[in-house]
Amino acid sequence: MKYHHLHDKIQKEILMKYLLKNKDTTYGKLHNFGKIKSLTEYRENVSVIEDFGMIQKYIDQISQGHQSILTEEPVLAFESTSGSTGKAKLIPYTGGLKKEFQKAIHIWMNELNWMRPKALAGKAYWSISPPLKDKYSTEGGIPVGLESDDEYFDPVSRFIINRIMAVGKNVMQSKDFHEFYLNSTAQLLACDTLSFISVWNPSFIIKSDHFIQKNLDEILAKSTLPKAKKEAIVRNGFYWKNHFTNLDTLSCWTDGQAKMWLPQLEKMFDGIHIQPKGLLSTEGVITTPTRFGNALAYTSHFYEFRNIRTGEIFDSSDLSIGEKYEVILTNGGGLYRYNTRDVVLVIKLKPLPILQFTGRSGNVVDMVGEKVDALSIQILSEILMKEDRNLQSVLLSPYKDEAAAGYELLLISDHITDFKALERKASIFLNENPYYKQAVDINQLKPLCSKIVSSKTLLEILVNYGQYFQIRDGDVKLPVLLPVNFFRKNFRSDD
């Protein structure tokens, strides 16, 4: 595949296309789209959307059936985000936005075929998660929600994908979670040519494995596997590599908090290639897996980057290696300068910007003025994991009641050595935040305490978190900084 070295030129063309196409919309008229001739003028006329409330009234108008609000193109559907900090957001999807996703996915598939041709030689399993809510339409008749990943593809590609799917979409008709996983795993085990698995969070496939191990007899009874293969599984147990002899590649998130699942994943899929999935969210696609790494999907949307350290905003041609940036997105669905809160680290710039997802900004806990943020806790996690190689990850759990407030350090490990040493190091790190230190010094916050959490309990935390915030299994991202009182309310102190 030939990469375009003038990605900055294409980026500016995409921006100007958006402005020209939507200059007569409600939003376009208000922000002078028709008069904007440069990126500088775009920034002067359009403020960064720091909070979804800044555009909620436009989303409400679209929901009611009004046209030409954010885009001239009609909104085909809304996709609901799985927010954990408040009301779920409805992201508008137009035909143009779906094509932008398709561009990035086609590049990914072409690159995968070049790098791992055996991955696409057989059948594939694409993530399908049980729905947590009934599908519905807005007041104006616009449907809300996509069922599975194949809806990002064009009709021809979707037809081909559905013919090679190892698990049919009929599993979505299951009446409850148990039946969903039973039907899914029974179909999956019956597939003797599985060569590719695509999920978002690696925890989803780990949860599926736990379900298989726990319900193996029931699954085998329902599966269409030949009798001899069923007997072999009963005799020897179920192991992914042994059962799926053609399985070549598992694609999933491996950056940010997804790293915590990698030790379990690598053990389960020993010898199977794990491909780091690009950064894709409900609002847009940021990076695509390529032979060079996860590259900026520069042909899909228009991107700006705010330096975490300085607050300056740059376009993709002015990034610096080693710096971290918030990604600000303009897309074909009507989001203009939308702060995704995704933070990326620039790894390389040639032949394209190669970006690594490091976490999300904007998650701050401030119970008594201490201002503890998730990005700093992500750094703490990386520091502690270097201190003890048995440490899988770290979560920080804030708690508050009438008697006290404080933070509990959750050390994720099955074989930790000296947890008190890690607790001391974490306390020193947190005390570098003067607001936190002052709150502890004047007894507004209790001193940091720590707790060892097994990988089994970690999975239980993830499941509980997803259910509590109504997030589909395949989409759950466990934050490094948990919501206040979430852990203590949902897990006993001796768990």
The answer to whether residues 390 and 416 touch, using CB atoms and an 8 Å cutoff, is yes
Looking at residue 2, its pLDDT comes to: 42
Where do the domains of the chain lie, and which CATH numbers do they carry? 94-362 (no CATH), 364-490 (3.30.300)
- In this prediction, residues 414-424 reach a mean pLDDT of 85
The answer to whether residues 383 and 425 touch, using CB atoms and an 8 Å cutoff, is yes
The answer to whether residues 331 and 71 touch, using CB atoms and an 8 Å cutoff, is no
24 token code pair? 């007569």
In DSSP terms, which residues pair with 397 in a beta bridge? 408
Looking at residue 418, its pLDDT comes to: 79
- In this prediction, residues 342-353 reach a mean pLDDT of 94
Looking at residue 495, its pLDDT comes to: 45
Residue position matching structure tokens 């009438």: 402
Q: How far is CA 186 from CA 7, 106, 190, in A?
A: 45, 30, 6
Q: How confident is the model at residue 269 (pLDDT cuts 50, 70, 90)?
A: very high
Q: Which residues contact 239 (CB under 8 A, 6 or more apart)?
A: none
pTM: 0.85
| d(C-alpha 173, C-alpha 169), whole Å | 8
**Coil, strand or helix at 74:** coil
The answer to whether residues 230 and 220 touch, using CB atoms and an 8 Å cutoff, is yes
Q: Which residues contact 37 (CB under 8 A, 6 or more apart)?
A: none
* Whole-number average pLDDT of the chain: 88
| d(C-alpha 364, C-alpha 341), whole Å | 12
- Neighbour count for residue 464 (Cβ, 10 Å): 16
Closest by Cα among 215, 259, 458 to 358: 259
pLDDT at position 105 over 60: yes
Task: Give tens-digit pLDDT for 428-447.
Answer: 999 999 889 999 998 889 99
pLDDT at position 3 over 50: no
Q: If you average pLDDT over each of 51-55, 167-171, 465-469, 477-481, which comes out highest? A: 51-55
Query: Parallel, antiparallel, or unpaired: how do β-strands 364-365 and 372-373 relate?
Result: antiparallel
Q: Which residue type occupies 467?
A: Q
Handedness of CA 258, 259, 263, 265 (dihedral sign): positive
Looking at residue 52, its pLDDT comes to: 92
Query: What does the DSSP 8-state code read for residue 36?
Result: -
Looking at residue 375, its pLDDT comes to: 87
| d(C-alpha 449, C-alpha 453), whole Å | 13
| d(C-alpha 287, C-alpha 284), whole Å | 10
| d(C-alpha 77, C-alpha 400), whole Å | 40
